[in-house]
Amino acid sequence: MTEKRNNDAFSSNFGMIAAAIGSAIGLGNLWRFPYLVGQNGGAAFIIVYLIITLLICTPILLAEMVIGRRGGGSPRDAYIKVTGCKGWGAAGILGMLTCFMIMSFYVVVGGWTIRYLVMSIAPGFHRGAVLDSGAIFGGFVSSSFSPIIYSLIFILLTIGIINLGVQKGIEKTSKLMMPLLFVLIVLIGIRSVTLPGAQAGLHYLFKPDFSQFTFDSLLAALGQSFFSLSLGACMMVTYGSYTPRTSNLAKNAAIITVSDTFFALLAGCAIMPAVFAFGINPSEGAGLVFVTLPQIFTQMPLGGLCAILFFVTLFLAAISSSVSLFEVMTATIMDVGKTRRRTASSICAAILLFTGSICSLSQGALRSITIGGKNIFDQFDYVSSNILMTLGGLLAVLCVGWVIKKKIFIDEITDGGNIPVSKPLASALFFVIKYLAPIVIITTAISSIF
């Protein structure tokens, strides 16, 4: 007997918000945002980023939630229902494919976080990291076997949550993980800012330098906001379909974006002061997390405990995002294939084990295979982040702004007038969705290409 996914829903508004925040908070918050801030004028970048996130990306996030709750099904079915056109179901299928591409490399990095969490707990790791953490990381990721095993563990942990369903799995774990995640990043931040020389890291993050802020910085702020909130991958469409009618979608969207941005700022305060305290280059990306920080932990008081806390935080950030990505794929397959949740999640897991293994091997045995100058891992990252998510976000705002129209949008965010949302605010949100957001998305897409 086919399980009816539409009967699944969050039991509370807090559960929905916790799950959505978990979807937004990911690995990019822990290294990409602090680096962009420092390279693009510090506080000047933060100010512009906050304006873009609140005024542009929050309405886009709201548009996806409206489609999901109005449609009440998987992304494909939701688009079809709200538009009355089967052709719009392609937007939902695109969201599923986007999630598959993201998860293909994300499960690899998720496996890295598990490996490093295990290593941080094991005796002797810190001494090894002091000797040559770069060799440890390089040897691990280029291996043909070990990273795939850890990716499989990460996949199994994710589907373990997914198979419990929306309330017992996604909602319950999000309620536990999100508060814990914030507590851990605050503890790490307190230790980091109290290190000698940590002030240079705070200076790097928060001193305004408008001479470094350029048009490329503006595009970087747009891209980071879009990427950080996971817009365009139908995650908020899916979670919107689980949201109770009594929930204030506009308020929820604001809470999600503020929480995600606040976590990114906390992550910057946790990482960059320590990086500068030990004279490390802050622009190393994944190397900063898996190579440089282990070296720092070996040199600071209570470094062993900080290492464990950091990699627990890293894992929680990874798994919370992967759950939302996985749920989009599972929900779509459940509706399209008329299958049970466990069957759908198993199909997703099998596909991801294959594509994830290819991405992992591209760091080693398949390194010589490149597409457009990028290995398979980097190509999956580029296509999903710069093309598919952008297109998905554009389709969402076009759907709400130009197809379902203003009356339905306002009816949805006010629950037919039962939720107080001022007319000027509702009109402003719809104006951004219909006119401003498409212009911003298209401009960002064109600029990233040229």
**pLDDT at residue 227 in the model:** 79
- Please state the rounded mean pLDDT for residues 41-52: 87
Summarised one tens digit per residue, pLDDT across range 94-115 is 999 999 999 999 999 999 999 9
According to CATH, the topology of domain 5-449 is Hydantoin permease (1.10.4160)
Taking 70 as the threshold, does the pLDDT of residue 127 lie above it? no
Taking 50 as the threshold, does the pLDDT of residue 7 lie above it? no
**pLDDT at residue 26 in the model:** 80
Taking 80 as the threshold, does the pLDDT of residue 282 lie above it? no
Residue 237 pLDDT grade (very low, low, confident, very high; cuts 50, 70, 90):
very high
Contact 362, 369 (CB under 8 A): yes
User: Cα–Cα distance between 395 and 90 in angstroms, integer?
Assistant: 10
**pLDDT at residue 314 in the model:** 87
Taking 60 as the threshold, does the pLDDT of residue 17 lie above it? yes
Distance, C-alpha 387 to centroid of its chain:
16
230 Rama class: left (phi>0) / alpha (psi -120 to 50) / beta: left
> For the chain, what are the domain ranges?
5-449
Of 138 and 32, which is predicted with more confidence?
138
Of 181 and 398, which is predicted with more confidence?
398
**pLDDT at residue 346 in the model:** 94
- Please state the rounded mean pLDDT for residues 36-65: 88
Distance, C-alpha 364 to centroid of its chain:
26
Taking 50 as the threshold, does the pLDDT of residue 281 lie above it? yes
The secondary element (H helix, E strand) that includes residue 187 is helix 172-193
Taking 80 as the threshold, does the pLDDT of residue 284 lie above it? no
Summarised one tens digit per residue, pLDDT across range 316-326 is 888 988 999 99
**pLDDT at residue 65 in the model:** 94
User: Cα–Cα distance between 67 and 62 in angstroms, integer?
Assistant: 9
Contact 233, 65 (CB under 8 A): no
**pLDDT at residue 249 in the model:** 92
Hey, what long-range contacts does 298-304 have (CB within 8 A, 24 or more apart)? 298/126, 298/127, 298/129, 298/130, 299/130, 300/191, 300/195, 300/274, 302/191, 303/126, 304/120, 304/126
**pLDDT at residue 208 in the model:** 84
Distance, C-alpha 159 to centroid of its chain:
18
User: Cα–Cα distance between 432 and 401 in angstroms, integer?
Assistant: 9
User: Cα–Cα distance between 421 and 430 in angstroms, integer?
Assistant: 13
Structure tokens at 445: 């897409």
Helix, strand or coil, per DSSP, at residue 406:
helix
**pLDDT at residue 302 in the model:** 74
Percent of the chain, pLDDT > 70? Answer: 94
Beta strands in 110-161 (DSSP E): none
**pLDDT at residue 166 in the model:** 83
Residue 5 pLDDT grade (very low, low, confident, very high; cuts 50, 70, 90):
very low
**pLDDT at residue 206 in the model:** 86
Residue 6 pLDDT grade (very low, low, confident, very high; cuts 50, 70, 90):
very low
Residue 246 pLDDT grade (very low, low, confident, very high; cuts 50, 70, 90):
confident
Beta bridge partners of 374: 371
Taking 90 as the threshold, does the pLDDT of residue 329 lie above it? yes
* DSSP assignments along 285-348, one per residue: THHIIIIIHHHHHHHSTTHHHHHHHHHHHHHHHHHHHHHHHHHHHHHHHHHHHT--HHHHHHHH
**pLDDT at residue 149 in the model:** 97
- Ranking 104-108, 196-200, 243-247, 285-289 by mean pLDDT, the lowest is 285-289
- Ranking 131-140, 171-180, 359-368 by mean pLDDT, the lowest is 131-140
**pLDDT at residue 285 in the model:** 61
- Please state the rounded mean pLDDT for residues 357-376: 91
**pLDDT at residue 449 in the model:** 67
| Cβ-Cβ contacts under 8 Å for 173 (sequence gap 6 or more) | 161, 323
User: Cα–Cα distance between 435 and 272 in angstroms, integer?
Assistant: 38
User: Cα–Cα distance between 32 and 99 in angstroms, integer?
Assistant: 20
